[in-house]
Amino acid sequence: MTQVLVQRTADAALRTRAASVIPGGMYGHMNAAGLPEAYPQFMTRGEGSRVWDADGNEYLDFMCGWGPIVLGRKDPVVEAAVRAQLELGDLLDGPSPVMVDLAELLVELVPHADWAMLAKNGTDATTACVSIARASTGRRKVLVATGAYHGAIPWCTPRPGGVLPEDRAHLGYFDYNDVASLEAAVAEAGDDLAGIIVSPVRQELARDQEMATVEFARAIRTVCDRTGAVMILDDVRCGFRLDLGGSWEPLGVQPDLAAWSKAIANGYSLAAITGRDGLRSAASSIYVTGSFWYSAVSMAASMATLTQLRDTDALARMAASGQRLRDGLAAQSAAHGFVTTQTGPVQMPLLRFADDDAGSTLARTWTNEAVKRGVYLHPVHNWFLSAAHTSDDIDLALERTDDAFAELARLARQG
């Protein structure tokens, strides 16, 4: 039986302080208020495949900062590049030459890319893509999959607060992986269709992830070619973790524009937009910028991250570790009498219980027990693996998740 973590005094004190100076005590996707009781709110450090909370508890980390950590925390090559750039400067009065280096690297790595623009986060990138599509076509309508997440500003946020009907007046909706639904949305948009934005994988909270079918991906490409609309791949969550050229490269489908962030710089804040040559003029015509968009340190971190992903077996190691975890969890859940599903890419897994209720009670109880035992998972959001997750890490995590399944079974027997 693995030791169960109980110390939470520092975290509790920080939550109390935060409640008086931060709206809601915390906001956004890292707000732990809605998570089970064992989840800490505040973390103090990370290294490799592990993180530590404010009380000093250590966790095997399967959220990776919600995706940005792809090589492991404090990767020595990335950190050396960061230190070298810091010696030169970060925010100067003009962009650093590393910006050109990185744009060239992105064009080299991404088959559809003839150019690249850089920003700070995924919402920047998806929003710029939508603007470029409209500028290029002179049209207004953009189609999105129902329930899809493309960022956190009014046109796409999943929360309705502060959002006006006008913010979404020119969005149309289709069902993911449903070609007939897509065609119906295209017909409704008519001659005003500017673009279609889609994620490589359907990823919605508290439901199975759904890999795109080849038929669906090709249908979007065909529709855009037929109508002159712009195909946008939102690769913010999956990009550079599944395939360096883009997450739909294995399907043989390339977008006109792609949005990237998360894994692009191993935890340093950066995003990118890549596009075809025919959209270069439209990209030049829109005004997008920010005081911190030209951070040379983040770009140096990205250069070090992407070259390692290109030149090492990091992607293969992530896939192998993810498969090892998936196989182990499947065996454990069956052994303890639970029917579970595991969906999505093995590098970005999610486990759900077949008989769970609308509140994901089984998932929440099981992940709570895992967190108590030092394995940081999430009950309803997909997890992430990094190249720092070794076979030994996976085996240790599985020892602890087995105990969590055993405790879940014990609680179920009690009624």
Listed by start position, the domains of the chain span 9-66+313-414, 76-311
Q: What is the mean pLDDT of residues 5-33?
A: 92
Output the CA–CA distances (angstroms, integers) from residue 392 to 69, 173, 387, 396, 398, in the order listed: 19, 44, 13, 6, 10
Buried b (16+ CB within 10 A) or exposed e, 11-36: beebbeeeeeeeeebbeeeeeeeebb
Q: What is the DSSP string of 116-172?
A: EEEESSHHHHHHHHHHHHHHHH---EEEEETT----SSTTT-SS-TT--GGGGTTEE
pLDDT of residue 275 exceeding 70: yes
d(CA 45, CA 266): 15
Output the CA–CA distances (angstroms, integers) from residue 407 to 333, 373, 377, 383, 397, in the order listed: 12, 11, 16, 22, 15
Q: What is the mean pLDDT of residues 393-403?
A: 98
d(CA 144, CA 158): 13
Kindly report the pTM of this predicted structure: 0.96
The residue whose two tokens read 């290109």 is 310
Q: What pLDDT is stored for residue 5 in this prediction?
A: 67
d(CA 284, CA 274): 13
Tens digits of per-residue pLDDT, 50-86? 999 999 999 999 999 999 999 999 999 999 999 999 9
Q: 76-311 belongs to which CATH class?
A: alpha beta
d(CA 174, CA 196): 10
Per-residue DSSP letter, 241: T
Q: What pLDDT is stored for residue 205 in this prediction?
A: 83
Q: What is the mean pLDDT of residues 16-38?
A: 95
pLDDT of residue 1 exceeding 90: no
pLDDT of residue 4 exceeding 60: yes
Tens digits of per-residue pLDDT, 327-382? 999 999 999 999 999 999 999 999 999 999 999 999 999 999 999 999 999 999 99
Output the CA–CA distances (angstroms, integers) from residue 269 to 122, 169, 263, 277, 414, in the order listed: 10, 31, 10, 26, 47
Task: State the pairing for strand pair 43-47/50-53.
Answer: antiparallel
The two three-digit tokens of residue 71, written as one number: 């090589």
SS (H, E, C) 300-360: HHHHHHHHHHHHCCHHHHHHHHHHHHHHHHHHHHHHCCCCEEEECCCCCCEEEECCCCCCC
Amino acid at 280: R
Q: What pLDDT is stored for residue 327 in this prediction?
A: 98
Amino acid at 278: G
Q: What pLDDT is stored for residue 206 in this prediction?
A: 79
d(CA 131, CA 134): 5
Average of per-residue pLDDT values in the chain: 96
Amino acid at 29: H
Determine whether 392 is exposed, middle or buried from the number of CB atoms within 10 Å of its CB (0-12, 13-18, 19+). Answer: exposed
Q: What is the mean pLDDT of residues 391-411?
A: 97
Selected from 3.90.1150.10, 3.30.1490.190, 3.90.180.10, 3.30.565.10, the CATH number assigned to the domain covering 9-66+313-414 reads: 3.90.1150.10
Q: Percent helix, strand and coil across the chain, each rounded to 5? A: 45, 15, 40
pLDDT of residue 6 exceeding 70: no
| pLDDT band at residue 122 under the 50/70/90 scheme | very high
Q: 3-class DSSP state for residue 178?
A: coil
Which residues share a beta bridge with 232? 197, 257
Sequence-distant (6+) residues with CB within 8 A of 401 are: 328, 329, 332, 370, 373, 375, 377
Task: Give the dihedral sign, CA 303/309/314/318.
Answer: positive
Determine whether 311 is exposed, middle or buried from the number of CB atoms within 10 Å of its CB (0-12, 13-18, 19+). Answer: exposed
Contact 177, 209 (CB under 8 A): no
